[in-house]
Amino acid sequence: MLRDGSFEGSGDWGNNVAGDADRCARVHTKLKRIVGARGKLDAEEAAALREAQQLRIWRTYGYASLVEYMEREMGYSPRAAIERLRVAKAIEELPLIANQLSQGDLSFSAAREITRVVTPETEQEWVEASKEKNLRQVEELVSGHKPGDRPNDPPDPKLVDKFLRYKVKPETAAMERQAKKILETERGQRLDDDAFVAALFRQVIDGAATTERTRAPYQVAVTICEQCKRGWQDGAGVVVEMSPPSIERALCDAQNIGSLEGNDTPRASQTIPPAIRRKVLRRDHGKCRVPWCRSSSNLDIHHLVPRAQGGTHEVDGLITLCEAHHLAHHEGSLVITGTATNLVFERNPNHAFKIATRVVETTKALRGLGWKPHEAKAAALATRTHVGTADLTLEQWIKLALSKCPKPG
């Protein structure tokens, strides 16, 4: 018995072979035509969604967001709606993928996957690499890559998503939906699976939400390399490498427990003294200072001026941020300027793409100067950590990267 429920031996293989062949050809042509038409409709829908976003169409029809509008008016699940919007925005700057989609040469599912990593500079390579591949193969091709990577770049194990599966009762599933709604309301934005589960785990690790935390949420024990500033997080026996923005976020509000090497056991010290931490939390009413965020849990203390740039632990130079917005700031997508009493918040969604592009361009420049591929990439990533959220030119990136390259033999 085959997977579609039929039997391979059913029917008379010797009768009406020519007629069946003609019918197969007609049905095949019809199905391919439907696939092509669906691709064109997907491309048209993407353009319409971009226009709907500009018009804020959901307000006209009494919905709270475009995602809710798509749920009620277009029949999409929240997850599918969010992905459709993401792809619609991405292909606006990716003309080749948009054209392939409208011609029916690229399925929406494949476009959804490759737009997670493709940039205008790598678009042609990803489209070529995705040809003649089914969805599973495209997913495997994308897995382990980040924006700016090329299809032939070796996958990075720490970028491969892990799947957590739980078998729960209906009432537990209902609680999961309620918990997600509460967290999204606190933050004023939708949470993907990773952000949602991370927030839940962070709540447990930090302790009860009603208990004020007076100690730093992160421990740093010479897991930060002094040369390249790479860092690793240790959790329940598993050690994983942290992203540069996550390292910067952790160093803002950390507990130093000394070196893990040797027999010395120095006294643990807080990056921010507990008394100062309590003052900042009280002044900020125990909630994130981002105006559109309501989060009062998973809170960090953030230095408005980084310590490396002369920042101090003065109360006026510190503010309270939730974990999500703290990370967004260190990633560069949320710019925070001013003083603790006069803050200015500005979204900068293109910063992450610009940084990824700088890494690719710097790596290419170093390879052109004679360094080996792995040396060039390591120097570019070390420069990414050094740059942080600063907006530097390509020439400044290359100059910094040269200082991080191994000396010629």
Number of separate domains in the chain: 3
What average pLDDT does range 17-33 have in this prediction? 79
322 and 182 co-located in one domain = yes
Is the per-residue pLDDT at 249 higher than 70?
no
Q: What is the pLDDT of residues 331-375, one digit of tens each?
A: 777 888 888 888 888 876 556 667 777 888 888 899 898 888 888
* Residue 218, CA atoms < 13 Å, CB-side half-sphere: 26
Residue (of 101, 88, 82) closest to 45 by Cα position: 88
Residue 108 within a domain? yes
Q: Which of 16-25, 211-220, 221-230, 276-285 has the lowest mean pLDDT?
A: 221-230
Would you say 345 and 334 are in contact if contact means Cβ atoms under 8 Å apart?
yes
CA distance 392 to 404: 17
CB atoms within 10 A of CB 374: 9
Q: Look at residues 305, 323, 347 and tell me which one is the last residue of a structural domain.
A: 347
212 and 275 co-located in one domain = yes
58 and 198 co-located in one domain = no
Q: Look at residues 99, 127, 154 and tell me which one is the last residue of a structural domain.
A: 154
- Grade residue 215 by pLDDT with cuts at 50, 70 and 90: low
111 and 210 co-located in one domain = no
232 and 137 co-located in one domain = no
Residue 123 within a domain? yes
374 and 324 co-located in one domain = no
Residue 9 within a domain? no
Percent of the chain whose predicted confidence (pLDDT) is above 70: 75
269 and 214 co-located in one domain = yes
Domain of residue 102, CATH code: 1.10.10
Residue 235 within a domain? yes
58 and 85 co-located in one domain = yes
Residue 408 within a domain? no
Q: Which two tokens stand for residue 152?
A: 């032939």
Find residue 345's DSSP bridge partners: 336
Q: Look at residues 93, 124, 154 and tell me which one is the last residue of a structural domain.
A: 154
243 and 332 co-located in one domain = yes
Range with the largest mean pLDDT of 236-240, 243-247, 255-259, 387-391: 387-391
Q: What is the pLDDT of residues 110-125, one digit of tens each?
A: 888 898 888 888 889 9
Segments forming the whole domain that contains residue 144: 22-154
Look at residue 21 and give its three-state secondary structure: helix
DSSP, residue by residue, 276-344: HHHHHHHHTTTS--STT----SSEEEEESS-GGGT----GGGEEEEEHHHHHHHHHTSEEEEEETTEEE
Residue 13 within a domain? no
203 and 338 co-located in one domain = yes
Q: What is the pLDDT of residues 286-328, one digit of tens each?
A: 888 888 777 777 788 888 887 667 778 788 889 998 887 887 7
Residue (of 266, 391, 287, 283) closest to 337 by Cα position: 391
129 and 222 co-located in one domain = no
356 and 343 co-located in one domain = no
CA distance 221 to 219: 6
pLDDT of 51 reads: 93
CA distance 365 to 395: 10
CA distance 223 to 305: 23
Would you say 257 and 221 are in contact if contact means Cβ atoms under 8 Å apart?
yes
Residue 190 within a domain? yes
Dihedral angle sign, alpha carbons of residues 226, 229, 235, 240 = negative
Residue 4 within a domain? no
